[in-house]
Amino acid sequence: MASSSFSSGPGATIIWFRQDLRLQDNPALAAALKNGGAVLPVYILDPASETDWPAGGASRWWLHHSLASLDATLRERGSRLLLAQGESGAVLRALLTQTGATAVYWNRRYEPASIAGDKALKADLTSAGIDAKSFNASLLFEPHTVQNKSGGPFQVFTPFWRHCLALPVDTPVKLPAGDFTALTKWPASFELADLKLLPTIKWDTGLAAAWVPGEAAALKRLKQFTAGAMADYAEQRNRPDTAGTSALSPYLHFGEIGPRQIWAAVRALSKDSGVFPANRGGQVFLSEVGWREFAYHLLFHFPQTPGEPLRKEFAAFPWRKDARQLLAWQKGRTGYPIVDAGLRQLWATGWMHNRVRMIVASFLVKHLRISWQEGAAWFWDTLVDADLASNTLGWQWTAGCGADAAPYFRIFNPFLQGAKFDPEGNYVRRWVPELARMPAEFIHLPWEAPMDVLAAAGVTLGRDYPHPLVDHGEARVAALAALESIRRSRP
């Protein structure tokens, strides 16, 4: 950053971008523009704010391309994105001094560390005479505004979402037309490459083939989904062999689109019917948005849960440590095709179908009895939509140790899950190509295929594809015994 001070004129506002990398429905940006002065858009890469959960490799890849997209969009409006690196408060104070800006606006984040940091920063800036304001851009309903009848947090999704559906949802904030008022002189900015977000070893070709980060791509995906697959979403969302989901999760995480925009898009399809949502697909789709809301509700009220089970008895669960089996799971070499397909899809594209996420997570915590924290850490590093709230909810739900969790004794059978949700084996064939020639009858349990079937498919178990890492029946018995051990240990 340049050390010399200069003035940009009265009333300049710094708009501090974080996980709201869009122009539309961005209340902090809209408020900054409404002030009428110059606007300085800034993004700060602040490693200190991510001490416990530094962004994983896939998330950093997405962030790089999302920042490039945001800068391009800002340039279309006569502005640009200033990039900085360092402790956020120090960077903002330096920019205030350099530019003479009188206000800093941002949109809120809801991770525990962010809440504490924002509160301290706002108090510090306000005491210095700076107009410091924060807004909600990432949730339909802020966690502190939703309470059960006892005045406390919800811990079961159905009553939580029923309560939310009775609340008003704000209309997306419209961006004023025209160019932004820019600074007459810009502070020095890092180049995007200086942030070193991209991998040094080029493992990211699959991500680039699968995704186009940015606000424009998010809006395009939403439009395509609501005009097409959403009608059959209730029936198709559990099928990984079809394009039946919205795949909006990474765009939501990085704030390239907001939930209010999704809500409004679904509502627009309901005008003629008078029913909201207009069809079952829309209802189920919005309930999935509701699960994201629920995840943030839980993280806000139970900030310890990214590392600790909400149900405290699970702190005594006898998890196993097995580096060899954990690595086999991570690399998609468990011998269970639907599990391996999901983990290979994750490694290649930074994303995994939600039904398959449940299957692979269940396999780790129940078949291998390796802790959910290990699984959460792997997902955190490899998912482009790695989100602290949703990741925590998903893994604690599967492990049976969180709010509204699946009971631990519910143990998915990988073969039955594969046969039900990938009946022709097309998903497995795509991601486990060594099994591509296996007939559908045996593709989810190749260890039971006759030798002539395996030979015709060109598969030798143990050479081309591994034997199952564990026996399903034996693993189930061991998992239930482990559950019983913590039940007996309760006071």
Q: What is the pLDDT of residue 11?
A: 82
How far, in Å, CA of 377 to CA of 392, rounded? 10
Characterise 320 by phi-psi region: left (phi > 0), alpha (psi -120 to 50), beta (else): beta
Domain 13-136 and domain 312-488, same fold? Reply is no
pLDDT at 270 over 60: yes
Which of 161-170, 172-181, 399-408, 432-441 has the least mean pLDDT?
A: 399-408
The whole model's pTM is what? 0.95
Residue 364 — φ and ψ, nearest 5°? -65, -50
Per-residue tokens: 268: 């627009």
Q: What is the pLDDT of residue 416?
A: 97
pLDDT band at 272 (very low <50, low <70, confident <90, very high): low
Per-residue tokens: 24: 């539309």
Contact present, 237 and 246 (Cβ < 8 Å) = no
pLDDT band at 269 (very low <50, low <70, confident <90, very high): confident
Looking at domain 13-136, its CATH superfamily turns out to be: HUPs (3.40.50.620)
Q: List, as own/partner pairs, every contact residues 1-5 make where C-beta atoms lie below 8 angstroms and the sequence separation is at least 24, other chains included.
A: 1/84, 1/91, 1/94, 1/95, 1/98, 1/187, 1/188, 2/98, 2/187, 2/188, 4/98, 5/97, 5/98, 5/100
How far, in Å, CA of 43 to CA of 16, rounded? 6
Residue whose C-alpha is closest to residue 483's, from 406, 400, 423, 417: 400
pLDDT band at 406 (very low <50, low <70, confident <90, very high): confident
pLDDT at 8 over 50: no
How far, in Å, CA of 398 to CA of 396, rounded? 5
Residue by residue, DSSP assigns 134-186 as EE--S-SS-GGG---TTSS---SHHHHHHHHHTS--PPPPPPPSSPPPPPSSP
Per-residue tokens: 424: 């022709």
CATH assignment of 139-175+214-302, among 1.10.760.10, 1.25.40.80, 3.40.50.10330, 1.10.3720.10: 1.25.40.80
pLDDT digits (tens, 9 = 90+) for 123-159: 999 999 999 999 999 999 999 999 999 999 999 999 9
Residues of the chain with pLDDT > 90: what percent?
89
pLDDT at 274 over 80: no
Q: What is the mean pLDDT of the chain?
A: 94
Residue whose C-alpha is closest to residue 42's, from 250, 184, 190: 190
Q: What is the pLDDT of residue 82?
A: 98
Q: What is the pLDDT of residue 404?
A: 83
How many DSSP H helices and E strands does the chain contain? 20, 5
Average pLDDT over residues 392-401: 96
Q: What is the pLDDT of residue 251?
A: 98
Average pLDDT over residues 98-112: 96
Q: Is 72 exposed, middle or buried (0-12, 13-18, 19+ CB in 10 A)?
A: middle
Q: What is the pLDDT of residue 50?
A: 67
The set of residues, in sequence order, having a beta carbon less than 8 Å from that of 385 and lying 6+ positions away, is 249, 250, 252, 253, 350, 351
pLDDT band at 52 (very low <50, low <70, confident <90, very high): confident
pLDDT band at 51 (very low <50, low <70, confident <90, very high): low
How far, in Å, CA of 74 to CA of 212, rounded? 18
pLDDT digits (tens, 9 = 90+) for 470-484: 999 999 999 999 999
Average pLDDT over residues 60-70: 98
Contact present, 239 and 418 (Cβ < 8 Å) = no
pLDDT digits (tens, 9 = 90+) for 350-363: 999 999 999 999 99
pLDDT band at 487 (very low <50, low <70, confident <90, very high): confident
pLDDT digits (tens, 9 = 90+) for 303-341: 999 999 999 999 999 999 999 999 999 999 999 999 999
pLDDT at 276 over 70: no
Average pLDDT over residues 63-87: 97
pLDDT digits (tens, 9 = 90+) for 203-252: 999 999 999 999 999 999 999 999 999 999 999 999 999 999 999 999 99
CATH 3.40.50.720 fits 312-488, yes or no: no
pLDDT at 108 over 50: yes
User: What positions carry a catalytic annotation?
Assistant: 288, 291, 319, 354, 372, 395
Per-residue tokens: 331: 């690399």
Q: Of all residues in the chain, what percent are helix, strand and coil, respectively (each to 5)?
A: 50, 5, 45
pLDDT at 28 over 50: yes
pLDDT at 4 over 50: no
**CA distances for 290 relative to 48, 157, 158, 259, angstroms:** 31, 8, 10, 9
Q: Where are the domains of the chain?
A: 13-136, 139-175+214-302, 312-488
